[in-house]
Amino acid sequence: KSLQRRWRDVGITPRRVDQRLWKTFRKACDAVFERRDKERNSHKQSLDSEAAAAIELCDEFQTHIDHCAADAVQVETLRDFTRRFHQLGELPRNKANTMRRRFEELERSYRALLHDAAQHAVYAELDRWNELDATLSELEQRAHAGESVELPDVEHFALTLTDVVKRRLNSIVSDSPPGEPDDDGRRQSMAIEAEIAVGFESPEADQQRRLELQVERLNRGMSGHRDSEDPLELAIRWCSLAGRSPDASALRERFFTALQRLAS
């Protein structure tokens, strides 16, 4: 366009020369316009191709989310879809924002699945610690009553046992009484502390101990010490303590019910 304006500004020239030069100039202009149109068409095709790829990727992501089993949700899957989306080329200007918003919504949906899967995994592990503790408590009560007992197959619980929990296991079949003398009292305190942490009420008989623990908790907080509220850490600590008292089952139910809420 600029060259054409400059041509017109040249003014009057001899007719034959003017016509010959005009044909040459016009031919050059046509070549420029043709190349421009090809580049525009090529760019448009590239944009359309990337838009189609983005739509296909989002559709694939949506299908994966809709049909993904809870135990198949993985962080690597989210990373892979995100990487593939960011590797796409330039998108059409009038569609880019819409496509990005759609993909971001899919990312949020998958992150929600990851969160739910992680939460369910914690719930399942808490259930296994609960089951292990119930099994060990029953054996401890029988051993305390003088019965002969055998250790269970702990591999059934699919748990990584700490050394402290292993010592509890070994003490059941040893000559020494299982656990420490105050294990039942420590279990009671842990159950009450778990109830405090999630706002559950404690039985009337435990109100005095609950008040004492609340004061201790407040003092620790004022001194900058924060109690662990990781449900799995608390479950492991609980399972390191022997449960020989008659109310071991009731305490266990209170404790693990509070842990389930703490994990939510």
pLDDT 10s digits, 176-222: 555 566 788 999 999 999 999 999 999 999 999 999 999 998 888 77
Residues 153 and 52 in one domain: no
pLDDT band at 229 (very low <50, low <70, confident <90, very high): confident
Element (H, E) at 3: helix 2-9
Q: What is the C-alpha to C-alpha distance for residues 16 and 166, in angstroms, rounded to an integer?
A: 107
* Statement to judge: residues 11 and 96 lie in one domain: yes
- Residues 104, 126, single domain; the answer is no
Domain end, chosen from 98, 116, 134, is at 116
Identify the domain boundary among 93, 116, 139: 116
In the chain, the percentage of residues whose pLDDT exceeds 90 is 53
Q: How many other CB atoms sit within 10 Å of the CB of residue 112? A: 12
Confidence of residue 235 (pLDDT cuts 50, 70, 90): very high
Check whether residue 94 and residue 224 sit in a common domain: no
Structural tokens at position 236: 């492991």
* C-alpha Rg value of the chain to the nearest Å: 36
Q: What percent of the chain is predicted at pLDDT more than 70?
A: 86
Q: Are residues 42 and 53 in the same domain?
A: yes
CB 69 within 8 A of CB 120: no
Give yes or no: residues 213 and 124 share one domain.
yes
CA-closest candidate to residue 260, choices 197, 216, 188: 197
Same domain, 14 and 82: yes
Residues 240 and 125 in one domain: yes
- Do residue 125 and residue 249 come from a single domain? yes
| pLDDT at site 253 | 97
State the pTM of this model: 0.73
Q: How many domains does the chain have?
A: 2
| pLDDT score of 74 | 95
Q: What is the pLDDT of residues 43-102, one digit of tens each?
A: 788 899 999 999 999 999 999 999 998 889 999 999 999 999 999 999 998 999 999 999
> Which structural domain range is residue 77 located in?
2-116
pLDDT digits (tens, 9 = 90+) for 6-32: 656 666 666 666 667 667 767 777 777
User: From CA 1, how far away is CA 90, in angstroms rounded?
Assistant: 28
Asked if residue 123 and residue 111 are part of one domain, the reply reads no
pLDDT of residue 145: 82
Which pair of structure tokens corresponds to residue 225?
A: 């010490």
Res 195: pLDDT: 96
246 has a pLDDT exceeding 70: yes
Q: Are residues 247 and 138 in the same domain?
A: yes
Determine the pLDDT at residue 188: 94
Domain-terminating residue out of 83, 116, 149: 116
Q: Do residues 96 and 160 share a domain? A: no
